[in-house]
Amino acid sequence: METSPQPQIMRLQAQARQLVAAGAWDQAVVVFEQLAVLSGDDIDAHINHGNAHRHAGQLPAAVAVLARTYRRAPQHDRARAALVDCLRVMGDLDQAAAIQSEALVQTGTVAGWQDLGLLHLDRLAPSDAIAALDQGLALAPDEPTLLRDRGLAHLMAGRFDTGLRDYRARWRLPGWSPLRDTPPFPWLGDQLPANNAPILVVGEQGLGDMVMFSHALKTGAVANPIHLLVDQRLVGLMRQTHPWLRSVASKLADPAHAAVAGWMGLIDFAGLVATDTGHDWPARRPSLQLTQPPPDRPGRDRPLIGVSWLSLKPDVGPLKSLTPDALQSVLALEGADFISLQHGLDAAALARWDPHRRLQPAPVEVTQDIQGLAQILCGLDGIIGVSNSTIHLAGALNVPALLPVHRGQRQLWYWAHVDQQHRSRFYPSVEIWRPPLAGRWDGLATRARTWLYARRHPAADLTARQNLPTKGLP
């Protein structure tokens, strides 16, 4: 008499749940593999096996399992979604987009077209993204998430007026507005009120975006008096840089706001100013300044370089952040000293990232003391950092910076805009480097060495700097 495998499957499922709860993914992989074998044609069991490899950090193995599963059941939505998502995390964006597109030939859905559009944004292919999102909008013409994402695609492509028009659909999404309470005055969209009435300009989407688009707040940008609402940590710096603003506050309850006729987002205001005044947008100019001069740089033989390597945001942090090996390859470069500008790490965590103690500790808490961080940045010879508020602050203060950034960061459309020297069109002092292999940081040390050489030899020819020795700095 043949024995049913069901009791063994139930025992293994219970064991798998315990291992997952304990975060023991290496052991869980073995159990999920046994479950997949015992479950035969149960596609969900094979998907769980592949996802276990992914959580264990075994991405090639995860893709292999999920690809076999998808070939067995190409109509299974969860199998396709798991494979596409794993390919995206691994950096194989072209293959992920091809699989998603293939599925949509059979049954095109709003969610499917949106996912394909976002994958094309990850690929830095805005025209393909717009085509996919247009298909979704044909099925749901007024869907705000589709309009928002198409706006990002147009912005990435450099169609700023069109992009901002679509991107304003973000204000219709639940929880998007930075005004937590219902304001006592209307949203202006992109229209200034008549009679030069005062307006409230609202910073949004984190410190980095507030810094990036603050260039639009220059004196005389519009005839309307401007009140600015920003994160508390930026209030002092914005008051220093823009003393002509009617008020700068971090809370809507500020008494000065009683006179305003309405409000608009800072990104929308930046686009409005560029359109109305004929100024270039994005603006290639530093947008922040310090009223107190930074401390004099002491005479030193070696450049002092700030380093910031982690983003702690759960949604995009893993794609932004350097790996331990990539960080060590930078810190191993000779001829420079390094100071940590990384936030969110205690002393023990910093020691794990920097076992050879190449990093000097920052003298301020970089996420809270923004003015102190600005003073430090202005005293450095440069910064190597991933996309976070520190790199935005460095760019706005005209501090030389090297920004390593992968494809796969769909929200960061602005880093797609570079000149022939790979300098950001938003920040002339920021050089952007994209690794040749998606999902990996191979070549970062070589690029950082070239960049460091330029800090010591600003007039050196770029061609000569690309032929540096493999160790040390001249």
Cβ-Cβ contacts under 8 Å for 121 (sequence gap 6 or more): 129, 149, 152, 153, 156, 410, 413
DSSP state of 431: E
Q: Where are the alpha helices (DSSP H) in 40-141?
A: 43-55, 59-72, 77-90, 93-106, 110-122, 126-139
Q: Where are the alpha helices (DSSP H) in 278-425?
A: 317-320, 324-331, 347-353, 370-378, 389-396
Q: What is the dihedral of CA 90, 93, 99, 104, to 10 degrees?
A: 130
On whether the CB atoms of residues 296 and 381 are closer than 8 A, the answer is no
Cβ-Cβ contacts under 8 Å for 382 (sequence gap 6 or more): 303, 305, 306, 399, 400, 401, 402, 451, 452, 455
DSSP secondary structure string for all residues of 282-312: S--S-----SSPPPPPPP-SS-EEEEE----
In order along its 474 residues, the chain shows pLDDT tens digits of: 456 678 888 888 888 888 888 778 888 889 888 888 888 888 888 999 988 888 887 888 999 999 999 888 888 888 888 898 888 877 788 888 888 888 877 677 888 889 899 889 988 899 999 999 999 999 999 999 999 999 999 999 988 888 989 998 988 887 766 565 556 778 888 788 888 889 999 888 888 888 888 888 877 778 888 999 888 899 988 988 888 888 888 887 677 777 888 888 888 888 888 765 444 556 556 667 766 655 555 566 788 899 998 877 666 666 778 888 889 999 988 888 999 998 877 778 888 888 888 888 888 887 788 888 888 998 898 999 998 889 999 999 999 999 998 876 777 888 888 888 888 888 889 999 988 776 678 889 889 998 888 877 655 434 433 433 333 332
pLDDT at 404: 92
**The residue count for the chain:** 474
User: In 10 A of CB 166, how many CB atoms?
Assistant: 23
pLDDT at 299: 61
Residue with tokens 């264990």: 56
Distance from C-alpha of 206 to C-alpha of 229, rounded to nearest angstrom: 12
On the 0-12 / 13-18 / 19+ scale of CB atoms within 10 A, 41 is exposed
On whether the CB atoms of residues 112 and 100 are closer than 8 A, the answer is yes
Cβ-Cβ contacts under 8 Å for 58 (sequence gap 6 or more): 29
pLDDT at 106: 67
The token pair that represents 343 in the structure block:
């936030």
On the 0-12 / 13-18 / 19+ scale of CB atoms within 10 A, 302 is middle
Closest among 148, 153, 137, 191 to 170, alpha carbons compared:
148
On whether the CB atoms of residues 248 and 297 are closer than 8 A, the answer is no
Residue 364 main-chain phi, psi, to 5 deg: -130, 165
User: In 10 A of CB 459, how many CB atoms?
Assistant: 5
Distance from C-alpha of 13 to C-alpha of 156, rounded to nearest angstrom: 45
Q: Where are the alpha helices (DSSP H) in 22-58?
A: 25-39, 43-55
The token pair that represents 429 in the structure block:
């002092």
In whole angstroms, how large is the CA radius of gyration of the chain? 25
Quote the distance between the C-alpha of residue 23 and its chain's center. 27
Cβ-Cβ contacts under 8 Å for 310 (sequence gap 6 or more): 317, 320, 321, 322, 342, 344, 345, 386
Closest among 109, 175, 100 to 146, alpha carbons compared:
109
Residue type for 454, please?
A
pLDDT at 462: 42
Distance from C-alpha of 453 to C-alpha of 447, rounded to nearest angstrom: 10
The token pair that represents 122 in the structure block:
């990850």
Q: What order of strands is seen across the sheet that includes strand 226-229?
A: 247-249, 226-229, 199-202, 263-265
DSSP state of 158: T
